[in-house]
Structure 1
Amino acid sequence: MTGPAMTVNPFALPEDPERETPPLNCRSKHSSSPECYVDVGDAFQNFASFEKRLERLGRLQETGLFVPVGGPSGSGKTSLINRCAARALDLLKEQGISAEPINLTGEGRNTRLTVEQRTGRVGGKLVRELQQRSSVFVKTKYTEPLTEPDTLPDLQAWMSAAHQAMNENSVAVVRTPSTELLDEIAIYWSGVYPRMLVFTESPGEGVDKSFDGTSWEQTDTAEWLYLEGRFIENGEVLTFIKKRLDIPGKGTTFPDLDLDSFDGFFGGGNLATVGAAQSLLYRVYQHGLQEGWRAATMVTAGHLGEFIREAEGSTG
């Protein structure tokens, strides 16, 4: 049975440029506003820790901050980094500081390279990106890192050279490529200088156990703050669903969800993440958009079960 015409998939990812409509009805001018996010998997607690660290540091121009974000795949690490970076940019601009976001997540993915080669490429890319941003970078102050013949500069050399050429009243908000390697995370930390806020995402768990400040070389001024996502618990997915469905057109442009039937479907020891829940719900709604709905106005947990069984049957 075909249900209401659905023009918006309420579980599309806001970070996905292929989706024309974000899932949340975010009316705030601040992209880091709580209205734009859902408190699932300690998201708000992590964000509050980040805000407190920013407040304690005071001036990022005078100290560097390294923020590794760990947790299982799908636990909201990217969304947390997006929110923290947005808050930092908002705050810096309110303070009259020139701040530029620099996304390096696509660099250094060649697995045939060594850790030093990969991170070195990231450092070189950072310098090239900064050179295009006159609000934070003074080209006449820049000096290429010195190396031995036939040797490329390492990440710390690139970052040091970049730091020396940055405007004193500026901050670069940098996202490095994701990595599971503690040695690679340590290299990123060692390259953080004043006027730099650097985020590194890691799908590994327990990363913070090695952040003891003594086993890894650390710059004199850079501090670190470890944030970690987790698996969702019973009841949390309902919070997530309600927020995602609170957008214009609820009940008219797409079928609603029978929330009561979802308690326990995710979480409760199933080691599910908010990303896994969102992915499944997105696929169910997308299937309904393309194929039509078997129920007119409501999507139930039974629909999810049928969808999972059909998907397993098609691959088995």
Structure 2
Amino acid sequence: MSGSGGHAHNPFALPEDPQIPAPPLNCAAHGGDPCHVDVGGSERNFRRFQERFDGLGKLAERGLLVVLKGPSHSGKTSLRNRCLSYAMEALGPDDQRPDAEALRVDLSDRIRQPALSGAQRVTNVGRMLAAHLKANERIFETPYAAPDTAPDDADLGHWTASAGDRLYPRSSVVLVTPPVTTVDEIRRYWAGVDRGFLIFVECSAEGLEIPEDSEEWAQFEVAKWMLLETGMMLARETRELVERRTSGGGGGFRKLASNATDGRFGVDGSFPVGTVQKLLYLFYREHGRAGSGGEVTQDELSRFIDDQVPRG
């Protein structure tokens, strides 16, 4: 089945593979859709990132640590990728800065290795980052020297110390770390932020408190940090997402009753973004064609969700 055929039978399927739910924030998922549907506070978070990043003048004087916190499947990775794309374009060459270069080091898919301590995991990331920096010496005005050894309690600063001072004025380093679950790991990454560095850290630990105004996270002379929190998808946002996705397809998809999402989804949000996407994908795969019924009612949608996700 072709990509367009997959979309014709399920508005929540990826065009290139109709068996896979399309990410709600995926630009390419459906031609003509706005790139990013504003769900789970994604637009607000992205604007906050833009404001903070733009205020740092392409990292010329200060680096930036971005912590993305939220439950699993709440849109952290989609938000991170959007912020990452924006930053890479801004830090790359343009008419005013033809010699600009941003080195991207994406270690987000590395196995977390829960048996190791936070310090050991950060040490592994530091060593991998150092290898990338050493292999890309063109971004440095003076050669980068990676440390040969590391203490047991090393933070990322052990590998980035003086790296910011060695970068060419229009060079930068963008690091995406593996996901973390402790504040200690975040602090160890924070210690490695220097001029010219942008670091993204995802954290999905529930109940983890990261106070943005704490003295421990006070602004350094060479760095700033920010916290972007993702969460549950509101009933209103679910309705808007369905309206966007079912507006195509020649009118062949069932519409939602005005109160259809007010039951199981909840006004305040009951599911993270990714779970909502998967539930809608499954519902429209089985019951979404216009010929299979009239408007989708609250009772019908709630019963379907209860079958998929029993109430706890």
Which TM-score tier does this pair reach, normalised by the shorter chain?
0.7 to 0.9
**What's the secondary structure of 1:66's corresponding residue?**
strand
Q: Which residue of the partner structure matches residue 198 of structure 1?
A: 199
> Paired residue for 1:105, among 80, 92, 108?
108
Task: Name the amino acid aligned to 2:174.
Answer: V
Q: Which residue of the partner structure matches residue 85 of structure 1?
A: 84
The C-alpha deviation readout for 1:265-289, integer Å capped at 9, x for no partner, is 3232453322221121122234569
Q: Report the TM-score when normalising by structure 2.
A: 0.77
Distance 1:136 1:98 in 2: 7
Shift of 1:310: 4.2
Distance 2:279 2:119 in 1: 38
Q: Which residue of the partner structure matches residue 276 of structure 2?
A: 277
Shift of 1:250: 4.9
Preserved contact between residue 107 and residue 122 of structure 1 (Cα < 8 Å): no
Once the two structures are superposed, the pairs formed by residues 263-302 of structure 1 within 5 Å of their partners are: 263-265=261-263, 266-269=265-268, 271-287=270-286, 295=292, 301-302=298-299
- Provide structure 2 residue ranges, at least 5 long, that are not aligned to the other structure: none
Distance 1:65 1:184 in 2: 16
Q: Which residue of the partner structure matches residue 156 of structure 1?
A: 157
- Provide structure 1 residue ranges, at least 5 long, that are not aligned to the other structure: 28-33
Shift of 1:55: 2.4
Task: Name the amino acid aligned to 1:128.
Answer: A
**Mean CA deviation greater in 121-130 or 177-186:** 121-130
Preserved contact between residue 256 and residue 298 of structure 1 (Cα < 8 Å): yes
Distance 1:161 1:72 in 2: 35
Q: Which residue of the partner structure matches residue 260 of structure 1?
A: 258
Preserved contact between residue 155 and residue 188 of structure 2 (Cα < 8 Å): no
| Count of aligned positions | 294
Q: Which residue of the partner structure matches residue 30 of structure 1?
A: none
**What's the secondary structure of 1:168's corresponding residue?**
coil
Q: Which residue of the partner structure matches residue 228 of structure 1?
A: 229
Distance 1:147 1:134 in 2: 20
Establish whether residue 125 from structure 1 lines up as the match of residue 128 from structure 2: yes
Distance 2:52 2:191 in 1: 19
Distance 2:21 2:135 in 1: 29
Shift of 1:171: 1.7
CA RMSD of aligned residues (A): 3.8
Preserved contact between residue 62 and residue 221 of structure 2 (Cα < 8 Å): no
CA distance 1:302–1:271, shift in 2 (3 Å): closer
**What's the secondary structure of 1:187's corresponding residue?**
helix
Distance 1:116 1:141 in 2: 27
Task: Name the amino acid aligned to 2:258.
Answer: D
Q: Which residue of the partner structure matches residue 301 of structure 2?
A: 304
Q: Report the TM-score when normalising by structure 1.
A: 0.76
**What's the secondary structure of 1:100's corresponding residue?**
strand
CA distance 1:38–1:92, shift in 2 (3 Å): same
The percent of aligned pairs where both chains have the same amino acid is 35
Shift of 1:170: 1.5
CA distance 1:126–1:287, shift in 2 (3 Å): farther
**Mean CA deviation greater in 166-175 or 213-222:** 213-222
Distance 1:164 1:66 in 2: 18
CA distance 1:43–1:311, shift in 2 (3 Å): closer
Greater relative contact order (Cα < 8 A, sep 6+): 1
